[in-house]
Structure 1
């Protein structure tokens, strides 16, 4: 598990599919976009009131950055990483609690204490001029302090078992931010919207044509360069996120090492998996589980989804077969929502 900075990993392409079968909304479509949390954001919604919500949405980003951004000096997460404990705000408390739940559910495949491993592989905040494979002795030493059981929640206090334990919430924070903005819109009486923070999306209601919001997923060619969407699906009051490895990687000895780090072995992903897209009821859930599923791989990942219907997940894998050809595999629920594939 690791973070998802600007355009890291995978892109989900936003589509508004027009059809004569849809009834146009009498409400006005408002669109806004910009840069935040090291990536882009897009917010689209329908409302009678056309007054801009941009200042409030910018404030949401700032508050969450002050809590969870590794790039923000003095943020709560940086205070924790530099010390032994921190008094959490509501944002950090929610993300930490959900992260620990997903860690337990995936037996540690998702784990926010992976930060020292992310740094060792050169994918952290401070990137080396040349990325190289860390030595086994280095990884063995780091792994002594990696593991979600090293964290303790005591009310609003987050503590650690050892001073060298550090956390990185980038693999789940953008999904959480997407949910926070969605809830903000709902509090404003807005029921038709689509929120996209760095490729982590959540929708509600219909677009301006009266149709369910739809998204398209890129499928790369053999060189793993993105090409136009090959799968389009209806995002009916759901969230969708993606963890992918064709944009953040380095190569050494003919092997491509990607930014998804296995918190159990300490190894950077170098399998045939290119990306996994996950559907869930909210973006924080999808965002957390997509990190775990890409490490599990196609067979184990789809088996996990099928074995745990209580998590409300569906998944779409893109991978290379033994001949190097791009293939896809998906859960039954994902197929049912697909409009074009």
Structure 2
């Protein structure tokens, strides 16, 4: 008994010495990718920078899903109507089609002709402002995930001219891919942020659950001067859709880059933003656009009716009198640090 106790004590001492020799350090990588910034933070005893490998992940995903990359897999599809998908594109397409079905068409990657028509695409139309009604009507004839088919690794369309735009979901997917990469290296504590879409796992260097900032209105505000609110992310993903990033104003109406795929009209309701928490960033990013199109009441009802998606959300919006307000889903407040 004594020998066993002494041996166990020696092992504990050796482990403690090893831990002292290799303390976990907070590491950070940051840069630009996918038209925005990225920041990756993680705890590791190895101080070798992972930046080159993270940049490589962005490069590979861009070769698959970027509309800005000539020859990318998605651009090949948009040019020919048929393509052999790689693993990244297949994962995104499958998620997009399932989300399209779940939201009755409010999430639709075939919305590309409308996105470009409204001036939010890679190329700009030859006019500014609201597109002509007949142009919207013509573009809508090419919108509908019902025109897409997947057979094995092949994606094709049954209607000529149908094109896809995965920007409404690709960043959330990329966030999770980077998170899985870190986990594959044995890194258990990390935070990944790509343009405000994030996932977190474990704890930070202060041994606390990772916290991220979101913009919230001051009580009774009518001008939307946001203050910072903190959200805890215990092994969750978070994504935000809003009308304050890409938009144009026409008179007193603000048209945002989120296009309603069933009407062809750019978002111009009273919603300022919706922030969604889910089990992963891929899911949160998939549902943030449909939820902002639904509006507060229908969006909250959707979350309540579909617990299988694990969604929680906060809406920030203007009331009828112009006052900025916020509405939480039932479970969102547990993540807030007021």
Give the TM-score normalised by the residue count of structure 1.
Answer: 0.90
Note if 1:53 corresponds to 2:50: yes
- Name which of 184, 188, 200 aligns with 1:203: 200
Match in the other structure for 1:166: 163
Q: Matches of 2:57 and 2:284 in 1, distance apart?
A: 21
Tell me the distance in 1 between the aligned counterparts of 2:211 and 2:254: 33
1:95 Cα deviation from its structure 2 partner: 0.2
1:1-341 mapped onto 2 (5 Å cutoff)? 26-128=23-125, 131-219=128-216, 222-224=222-224, 227-229=226-228, 231-340=229-338
Q: Retained in 2: the 8 A contact 1:88–1:158?
A: yes
Q: Do the aligned residues in 2 keep the contact of 1:102 with 1:110 (CA within 8 Å)?
A: yes
Which runs of 5 or more residues in structure 1 are unaligned?
1-24
In 2: Cα distance, 1:219 partner to 1:247 partner: 15
State the alpha-carbon separation in 1 of the partners of residues 98 and 268 from structure 2.
Answer: 27
- What CA distance in whole angstroms lies between the structure 2 residues aligned with 1:68 and 1:149? 20
CA RMSD of aligned residues (A): 1.4
1:306 Cα offset (Å): 0.7
Contact 2:273 2:292 (8 Å CA) reproduced: yes
Shift of 1:91: 0.2
Q: SS of the residue aligned with 2:326? A: strand
Measured against aligned partners, the alpha-carbon deviations of 1:262-298 in whole angstroms (never above 9, x if no partner) come to 0000000110001000000111100010010000000
CA distance in 2, matches of 1:247, 1:40: 14
8 Å Cα contact 1:224/1:246 also seen in 2: no
Query: Using a 3 Å threshold, how does the CA distance of structure 1 residues 254 and 228 change in structure 2: closer, same or farther?
Result: closer
Contact 2:29 2:50 in 1 (8 A): no
Give the SS at the match of 1:175.
helix
Q: Which has the higher helix share?
A: 2
Shift of 1:129: 7.4
TM-score by length of 2: 0.90
Conservation of the 8 A alpha-carbon contact between 1:131 and 1:250: no
In structure 2, relative to structure 1, the CA distance for the partners of 1:181 and 1:74 (3 Å cut) is same
> 1:168 and 1:223 mapped to 2: Cα distance?
33
Task: Assess if the C-alpha contact under 8 Å between 2:110 and 2:165 holds in 1.
Answer: yes
C-alpha separation in 2, matches of 1:124 and 1:222: 31
Determine the structure 1 residue equivalent to 2:18. Answer: none
1:185-244: CA deviation from partner (whole Å, max 9, x where unpaired): 00000000000001010000000000000112112564445x331x32211000000001
Report runs of 4+ in structure 1 exceeding 6 Å deviation.
none
Contact 2:116 2:125 (8 Å CA) reproduced: no
For 2:233 and 2:175, the matched residues in 1 are separated by: 14
Contact residue 99 and residue 287 of structure 2 kept, 8 A:
yes
The structural deviation recorded for 1:336 is 1.5
Q: Any conservation in 1 of the 2:31–2:38 contact (CA below 8 Å)?
A: yes
| CA distance in structure 1 between the aligned counterparts of 2:88 and 2:304, rounded to whole angstroms | 31
Q: Which residue of 2 aligns with 1:6?
A: none
> Where does structure 2 lack aligned partners over 5 or more consecutive residues?
1-21
